[in-house]
Chain A
């Protein structure tokens, strides 16, 4: 098995695969060509195919003998022709001088050219050079179809070619394998673009090497590779565990979603989407790296499909309710604000937690409608409190990272607040974690603008997963919210050192801290001693619907 080291992969010498059963011939060819090219040798078609698969992305051309034992040149060409992913690799067939029929047959099977023995080095070199040049210029046209970095098809063309293949009138069965790089956003923050590109290329080649049944492949997302493969029985997936090995440019994890024997009528894009849903479900599970669509998904998808069918009506019918969780000042004990959280109360499905629908709505864009609706409800509540003479406290609204690239969040929020005549300091903007969106300038600029206009900006979920120090450094923040997971950890192990340092870090950066998920008196006491500024959680109050929240405001008004 070829273990491609990153250095070999990027050497500028082009590689040629020589397939010929006669050792002397291979050696002579190698001698003639090795000045300009790196030569790989195979003694029959079967070995040739295997070497071609393993080294595909660095090969420029194949020199193929016709008559070989085990697997001859015709069979080699036939196999290569069926697997369209090899279409861009030209084959020059080495024929004897009196075999016109062979030549015709080879050309029909997809060979690009032929040379006769004995080899005339000059002729050979020129043929090879011009074929490579031809391939490279046609490759430029491919650029639109292919992802620049991995050379896999772009999302649209993957779907297009997959559809063509699936439309062929054969009884062949196909599977889809999606490979998703985990914590991609975090990797992007840690490594520069070249390492990320190298990693994508590395993963592409490794998968092409360990899955010989690949028909075509595509890069369908910044962190997702998809492959249409000939159907394989369960058990084969074990090779995926070794796909990422010591040759990787950077350490990373991949999770795989596999759909078997796909329904040829369904669009490949939607099938890949479903695989990704399956993968999202096991995002936090360190023990699961390969998910079979059929086992997990039918159930989940039915529920998701129902949510998608219902969501627009739900919005109109006001089935989305805003709940408020009070925040308290840790030193004084007074109520200092509240976080707005959404619940979906469906007439037949009952109460649906945001964990179930927020990721879905982030993905399908519905959040762009839901979030603003929630913000408006919050503004209305603030106005209501003011008019009823209730204590007016700042409300924190959640804004998903994914939204910042779609619309001008800063202006939207500023205009809305002004429309209701609410002081900017009464609306806090909580930036939530999102697995969908990549780090962007749009977020930095939007938060800066909000900050400059007097809004308080809070970083949610600190310590929970993706957020890194980069976010703290680059974003205009006022508050750091400590995720409940680190509170839980500290509490259960009685080790508060991480929290202590987080609070110190916040203080250095002139940020206030809010602890989420405070459940016991011991936790409250520990956090107070450590200097945490605010807290919310069951110790104080659970999330309250509007009326109960207003009652709470009155009861805790000191």
Chain B
């Protein structure tokens, strides 16, 4: 599959990532590297530990990386979680709503990683 096809399949924005990394070779390089980024994993760990600060930092980190790579959905969702746990701000979401949010992020991230993996193996 082509890079554009990959992005289409994960509901990412090829145009957005092209803004950041102007060359396909770079986009390819970094999207494949996403697997080495541990923000999502850290987010899930912090969630189960009820670590508000940890959740904020991880969600914030994930939001940035995803935005840079054109994964706008994931970025926006991570951003919502980050805002929820911004230091000094009061919680708005209920715990159930938060759990659903995290669940969706986790699923989406997993699907995205699988698609990227497939793309990576095709590159040889």
Contact = CB atoms under 8 A, between A and B. Distances in A.
A28 to B, nearest CB: 5
A71 interface: no
Contact of B36 (A24, A31, A99): A24
Nearest to B56: A67
B65 to A, nearest CB: 5
B26 interface: yes
Interface string B16-40: 1001111000100010011011010
Contacts of A99: 86
Nearest to B29: A31
Contacts of A22: 37, 39, 61, 64-65
A25 B19 contact: no
Interface string A25-48: 101100110000000000000000
A406 interface: no
Interface in A479-522: none
A21 B75 CA distance: 17
B67 interface: yes
Interface in A178-234: none
A94 B39 CA distance: 18
A96 B82 contact: yes
Contacts of A21: 57, 61
Nearest to A118: B67
A96 B63 contact: yes
A117 interface: yes
B19 A28 contact: no
B63 A32 contact: no
B57 A118 contact: no
Interface string A444-474: 0000000000000000000000000000000
Given A96-B60, A120-B19, A24 B83 contact: no
A121 interface: yes
Interface residues of A, number: 22
A28 B30 contact: yes
Most A CB contacts (10 A, CB to CB) among B16, B61, B86 go to B61
Grouping DSSP codes into helix (H, G, I), strand (E, B) and loop, the A interface class, with mixed when no group exceeds half, is: loop
Nearest to B54: A69
A25 B70 CA distance: 13
A119 B60 contact: no
B67 A117 contact: yes
A10 to B, nearest CB: 31
B111 to A, nearest CB: 19
Grouping DSSP codes into helix (H, G, I), strand (E, B) and loop, the B interface class, with mixed when no group exceeds half, is: helix
B81 to A, nearest CB: 12
Contacts of A94: 64
A281 interface: no
A98 interface: yes
B49 to A, nearest CB: 15
A119 B65 contact: no
B48 to A, nearest CB: 18
Contacts of B60: 67, 96
A175 B69 CA distance: 50
B68 interface: yes
Contacts of A138: none
A119 B79 CA distance: 16
B83 A118 contact: no
Interface string A57-81: 0000000010111000000000000
A69 B58 CA distance: 10
B64 A96 contact: yes
Contacts of A119: 20, 68
Given A120-B19, A121-B22, A24 B65 contact: yes
A82 B21 CA distance: 37
Interface string B45-89: 000000000001100110111011110000100010011001000
12 contacts: A22-B39, A24-B30, A24-B34, A25-B65, A28-B21, A67-B60, A67-B61, A96-B82, A118-B19, A119-B68, A121-B20, A121-B22
Interface of A: 21-25, 27-28, 31-32, 65, 67-69, 94, 96, 98-99, 117-121
Given A28-B68, A32-B20, 8 more contacts: A22-B39, A24-B34, A24-B36, A96-B60, A96-B64, A118-B20, A118-B70, A119-B20
Q: List the 3 shortest-distance A-B pairs measured between CB atoms, nearest first.
A: A118-B67, A117-B64, A22-B61
